[in-house]
Structure 1
Amino acid sequence: MQLTPQQLKDFDELGYLFMPECFNAEEVALLKQEASNVLAQQRPEIWREKNGAPRTAFAAHTYNDACNILASHPRLVKPLQQLFGEDVYVHQFKINAKAAFTGEVWQWHQDFPTWHADDGMPDARAMNIAVFLDEVMPINGPLMLVPRSHKAGALKSEHDLETTSYPLWTLDQPTVTEMVEKNGIVTPTGRAGGVLMFHANLVHGSAGNITPYPRRIVYLTLNSVSNAIAKPTRPEFIAHRDFTPVKPVADDALQRYIGKKAA
């Protein structure tokens, strides 16, 4: 999948692109089932909310076949190769599970400051590309983005070790207020199967989920091979040390896997 000139222009201007229904119903059903299987496991790669509900399952592509295919899927990999103009490798793969009724917040932050401070990533030449596994609605803790905030570069962040079970380099309220007053807030919503990609310095966060509707999202973080991390401080399952370029699989790889499982 290649981005159009208009999509490239929009990404440069806004710092994000939302592409609804990138994955079909069969592919989504498979990914939802496999995500449920992953989140039900007791593994060190699966971090939990303070109440015990799964929050983030890291590195599922290393032990789940469907996730492994997704981590090399051309609908996710090729747009980033196009944007960066070079090969990419998997810096991080995670399933974020915002549970019904109890899903906690993700504080306001940019991704690059965490990758830089905790992993030694030199520059903001990495990006999250998100796949919706559930319908993301205005009410169930959607990701909130501040358009154009990536143009401000990496902002001063503080290490928040208390708000949630996951440590994060976060932005203070005056900084967020300034960014929002200039640029507003958008909340991309849509059916399962949609794909959202956003710049490593785009300001974003999400509120808690007190609805009966869960909100699971796969985040594939791809980094330019020329931008490999130099001083990782986090476990390998959070910040990978294998810098081998991703080789995209066939576009119908998930469909083939569905057929193989049904045989």
Structure 2
Amino acid sequence: MLLMFYVGKIKEYKYTPGERFEVTPEMKNEFDRDGFILVRGLFTKEEIDKLYKGLQLGNIIKHAFNLPDGEKMNSKMVVWNHPGNDYTGRLGRCRRLVDTTEKLLGGEVYHYHTKVNMKEPHTGGAFQWHQDYGYWYKNALLFPDLLSVMVAIHRSDKGNGCLKVLRGSHKLGRIDHIRMGGQNGAEPERLAEAKKILEEIYVELDPGDGIFFHCNVLHSSAQNHSDRKRWVIIPCYNKMDNDPYADHHHARATKLHKVEDEDLIKCNEFDDLTGKWFMDPSIDKTIIASKVNENVDSSEEAPVNNA
């Protein structure tokens, strides 16, 4: 069962654990209009606690890298391209995410990649205003038929650098992006004009809350100057009929084997990372990154994407 209610100007949905998650025509219309839908309690406290426990073991986090924000702070990130059979892989394959994504995008999808973004207390860097398709366009994707699902692991609010989105900005189409630190950011003049007419929303999330957002939605987040962590997990999906026309550093169309929602909490596999294909940032020419505890010169000229 899915309940809908309002808080301020943001329409929210509430997921009821144990019941099938259904995308209503209203939800689909909202996604098409605004570029996102916000779901409270998408994952239970027990499910998120188990996820965090698995991440703390370090087998996944050891693949993390630093992403400079151009303002002297870094966020840590780890990215894997195939879901795998561990707990994080079950999360990325559960019907709660995949079925919903397929209804919102209008067709079969595959797992493009999942990332964990980690903003540590007092040091976690910002993410510049950008569209995900501003990066992914360079990965030989012809159509913007992708979305991401950001799920909070810790409380995410204005104090520790929560997500911000421009409502309806996916309708702008792909905007040119330029280098900003180790990242790509939306072209400033066009961004400034878009912000004059589109509503900027702070997406504050409790652990387990999730937001599904289109790959052309402009979004950003501020630095974390608080004494609290802000970790999120973000599975990303692409439509099967949007297979890239060339190989690159993310997955090409690969059949996604869904798991039932109730199977997630039953999974106790945290060590088997077989087949996940962790991304090496040195081969991703859309960013400039470094290994954790390794410095990077964020003023370095960006290499040309060769995906």
1:163 to 181, 185, 206: 181
Residues 1:82 and 1:99: Cα distance change in structure 2 (over 3 Å): same
Residues 1:8 and 1:38: Cα distance change in structure 2 (over 3 Å): farther
The one of the two structures with greater contact order (alpha-carbon pairs below 8 A, sep at least 6) is 1
Any residues of structure 2 matched to 1:159-238 within 5 Å, and which? 160=179, 163-164=181-182, 167-168=183-184, 170-233=185-248, 235=249
User: Is 1:28 matched up with 2:28?
Assistant: no
Partner in structure 2 of residue 244 of structure 1: 254
How many residues of Structure 1 are paired with residues of Structure 2 in the alignment? 247
Tell me, in whole angstroms, the C-alpha distance in 2 between the residues paired with 1:103 and 1:257: 31
> Which structure features the higher share of helix residues?
1
Gaps of 5+ in 1: none
Give the 3-state SS of the residue equivalent to 1:144 in structure 2.
strand
Partner in structure 2 of residue 139 of structure 1: 159
Partner in structure 1 of residue 264 of structure 2: 254
Aligned-residue offset at 1:85? 2.6
Residues 1:38 and 1:130: Cα distance change in structure 2 (over 3 Å): farther
Aligned-residue offset at 1:64? 6.8
Q: Does the CA-based 8 Å contact 1:35-1:95 persist in structure 2?
A: no
Partner in structure 2 of residue 48 of structure 1: 66
Tell me, in whole angstroms, the C-alpha distance in 1 between the residues paired with 2:200 and 2:61: 35
Following TM superposition, the consecutive aligned residue runs of length 4 or more in structure 1 with deviations greater than 4 angstroms are: 49-54, 60-64
Q: Does the CA-based 8 Å contact 2:149-2:211 persist in structure 1?
A: yes
Tell me, in whole angstroms, the C-alpha distance in 2 between the residues paired with 1:90 and 1:20: 23
1:99-134 Cα shifts (integer Å, max 9, x gaps): 1110011111111121111x1111010111111111
Tell me, in whole angstroms, the C-alpha distance in 2 between the residues paired with 1:91 and 1:75: 17
Tell me, in whole angstroms, the C-alpha distance in 2 between the residues paired with 1:10 and 1:109: 21
Q: Residue 239 of structure 2 aligns to which amino acid in structure 1?
A: S
Tell me, in whole angstroms, the C-alpha distance in 2 between the residues paired with 1:76 and 1:140: 26
Residues 1:163 and 1:195: Cα distance change in structure 2 (over 3 Å): same
TM-score (norm: length of structure 1) = 0.86
> Which structure features the higher share of strand residues?
2
Aligned-residue offset at 1:172? 2.4
Q: Percent same amino acid among aligned pairs?
A: 23
Cα RMSD of the aligned pairs, angstroms, is 2.2
Q: Does the CA-based 8 Å contact 1:60-1:67 persist in structure 2?
A: no
Tell me, in whole angstroms, the C-alpha distance in 1 between the residues paired with 2:201 and 2:73: 30
Tell me, in whole angstroms, the C-alpha distance in 2 between the residues paired with 1:215 and 1:248: 28
1:86 to 73, 91, 107: 107
Q: Residue 20 of structure 1 aligns to which amino acid in structure 2?
A: R
Partner in structure 1 of residue 23 of structure 2: 3
Tell me, in whole angstroms, the C-alpha distance in 1 between the residues paired with 2:192 and 2:101: 30
Residues 1:35 and 1:42: Cα distance change in structure 2 (over 3 Å): closer
Give the 3-state SS of the residue equivalent to 2:159 in structure 1.
coil
Gaps of 5+ in 2: 1-20, 271-307
Tell me, in whole angstroms, the C-alpha distance in 2 between the residues paired with 1:219 and 1:82: 18
